[in-house]
Amino acid sequence: MYNGKTTIGVITARGGSKGVPRKNIKLLLGKPLLAYTIEAAKQSKHLTRYIVSTEDEEVAAIARSVGAEVPFLRPAELAGDRSTSVEVLQHALRWLKEKEGKTYDYVMILQPTSPLRTAQDIDACIAKAVDTDADSVMSMVAITDLSLPKLKRIENDRILPALEDEGPVSAFRDASETIYKRNTAIYLTRTALIEQGEMFGKISRPYIMPPERSIDINEPSDFALAEFWMRTLHS
């Protein structure tokens, strides 16, 4: 709890994955990928509670073995490639309310694919949401090598502009305005908004993370990059 507001962390860890089979339980420096997110949630001072949402018995067993709570198995229809994060959160919130009578002010998605996210990152997002009365807080990272004019499309073996008019784009880049993207490490939203099917709300605030903690594992090579940064940051 933080300043009277409760937050439930939901670690979304389905069993399937196309890029890396069984990604969430694949070993990274000797531990299942999922374990790093569980450890960060466990060390958080502001999370009221955290749970793992999965449809997979093996994932659930591994999560429990490293100290996480897995109060239910997610329905298989909410574990497909087209399942949305909002639907997964709605299911978790509904289950907790109906089965345990528990409700929370905020809900946070913690994806196992961000193993370098820390407990301090989690707590900073909660504090920012509560202190600024935000509808949501999302972790973001600066894009340091973005040049929109360099973006191209290929049509009939010809290189063409990705955008119809590159003039304003070039001027935009000259303005040296920093551009950010969501790094998928933390999504924090008012519970009431999630129940309404909204992810961001009217007031969505950023929490900036450095590139080295913004690794999002989707491909086999991402494991090597994550391992590099883990060894570097903890050496």
- Domains defined along the chain, listed by start: 7-141+180-233 (3.90.550.10)
pLDDT of residue 165 exceeding 70: no
User: Which pLDDT score is estimated for 176?
Assistant: 62
Examine the pLDDT at 6 and tell me if it is beyond 60.
Answer: yes
- Which pLDDT score, from 0 to 100, does residue 171 have? 46
Q: What is the pLDDT of residue 167?
A: 52
Least confident of 34-43, 122-131, 226-235: 226-235
DSSP state of 24: G
Looking at 13-61, which runs of residues are DSSP E strands?
Answer: 27-28, 31-32, 49-53
How confident is the model at residue 128, as a pLDDT? 98
The amino acid sitting at 115 is P
- Cα(33)–Cα(133) distance, rounded to whole angstroms? 33
Residue 173 has pLDDT above 60, yes or no: no
Contact at 8 Å (CB) between 162 and 151?
yes
Mean pLDDT (whole number) for 156-182: 70
What's the token pair of residue 234? 């903890």
User: How many helices (H) and strands (E) in the chain?
Assistant: 7, 10
Q: How far apart are CA 184 and CA 31, in angstroms?
A: 21
* pLDDT at residue 231 greater than cutoff 90: yes
Selected residue with higher pLDDT from 42 and 172? 42
Residues 6 or more apart in contact with residue 215 via CB below 8 angstroms: 114, 115, 116, 222, 225, 226, 229
Q: At what angle do helices 119-132 and 33-43 cross, to 10 degrees?
A: 50
Q: Are 152 and 159 in contact (CB under 8 A)?
A: yes
pLDDT for the residue 33: 97
Nearest to 192 by CA among 137, 138, 136, 139: 136
Query: Tokens standing for 166?
Result: 């590159």
Give the mean model confidence (pLDDT) for residues 66-83: 90
Q: From CA 62, how far away is CA 109, in angstroms rounded?
A: 19
**What pTM did the predictor assign?**
0.89
Is it the case that residue 2 has pLDDT exceeding 80? yes
Q: Which residue has the higher pLDDT, 179 or 44?
A: 44
At residue 150 the predicted structure's pLDDT band, cuts being 50, 70 and 90, is confident
The β-bridge partners of 137 are 188, 205
- Tell me, what's the pLDDT at 174? 47
Per-residue confidence (pLDDT) for residue 17, from 0 to 100: 78
Average per-residue pLDDT in the chain?
91
